[in-house]
Chains A and B, each alone.
Chain A
Amino acid sequence: MQSSSQLGGIPHECPRAHLNIVVALSCEAKPLVDRLKLRKVNGESYPRFVGAYEGVPVDLVVSGIGSVAIAAAIGWLAAKTEADSTAWLNVGVAGHAEHEIGTIIRVVCSEVEGSQRRHYPPLVAKWRGLNSASLSSSLPNVDYPGGMAVDMEANTFFTVANGFSASECIQSLKVISDNPSSSIEELNASVISKLIAPHVDQILVFAANVIKLLPNKSPSMHLPEPATTMRRTVSQGLQLQEVCRRLGAINADKELVDKRLVGLDSISQVIEALDKLARSHAPSLITQASELNRDV
Chain B
Amino acid sequence: MDIIYIEEAILDHPRTQVILERFPKAEKLLIEKHAEVFNPNSQNFRIQKNNPSLILAAKENKKVLSTPMQYETGGGANYYFSHMLNCLYDCRYCFLQGMYRSANYLLFVNYEEFWEDIQLVAKTHANDEKPAWFFSGYDCDSLAFEPVSQFARYIVPKFKGIPNAVLELRTKSTQIRSLLEMDVVSNVVVAYSLSPEPVVAAVEEGAPTLAKRLDALVKLQNKGWRLGIRFDPIIWHQDYQKNYREMLAQVFTALDVNAIDSVTIGGFRLPKGFYKIMRKLHPEHWLFSAGLSESEGMIAYTQEIETQMFEFMLDQTRQYVAEEKVYAYPSYPLPTTPE
Contacts and interface: CB of A to CB of B under 8 A. Distances in A.
Interface of A: 108-109, 118-120, 122-126, 131, 162-163, 165-169, 213, 215-216, 218-219, 245-251, 278-285, 287
A9 B2 CA distance: 43
10 shortest interchain CB distances as A-B pairs: A166-B44, A246-B289, A218-B283, A283-B286, A249-B289, A162-B42, A167-B42, A168-B47, A285-B202, A283-B290
B286 A124 contact: no
B29 A131 contact: yes
A133 to B, nearest CB: 8
Given A122-B104, A279-B293, 9 more contacts: A120-B40, A122-B47, A122-B53, A168-B47, A215-B47, A249-B290, A250-B290, A279-B291, A282-B237
A219 B289 CA distance: 13
B102 interface: yes
Given A162-B42, A219-B284, A282 B53 contact: no
A118 B33 CA distance: 11
Given A251-B286, A287-B202, A169 B291 contact: no
B150 interface: no
A245 B238 contact: no
A34 B6 CA distance: 40
Contacts of A246: 289-290
Given A249-B289, A285-B238, A122 B43 contact: yes
Nearest to B51: A124
Interface string B254-296: 0000000000000000000000000001011111111111000
Interface of B: 2-3, 5, 27, 29, 31-32, 36-37, 40, 42-44, 46-48, 50-51, 53, 102, 104, 198-199, 201-202, 236-240, 281, 283-293, 302
Given A166-B44, A166-B47, A287-B202, A123 B283 contact: no
A213 B283 contact: no
Contact of B238 (A248, A279, A283): A283
A108 B47 contact: no
B119 to A, nearest CB: 35
26 contacts: A108-B3, A108-B27, A119-B40, A120-B5, A122-B43, A124-B50, A124-B51, A162-B42, A167-B40, A167-B42, A168-B44, A168-B47, A168-B48, A213-B50, A215-B281, A219-B283, A219-B284, A249-B284, A251-B286, A278-B289, A279-B291, A281-B291, A282-B236, A282-B237, A283-B287, A285-B238
Nearest to A287: B202
B26 to A, nearest CB: 11
Nearest to A124: B51
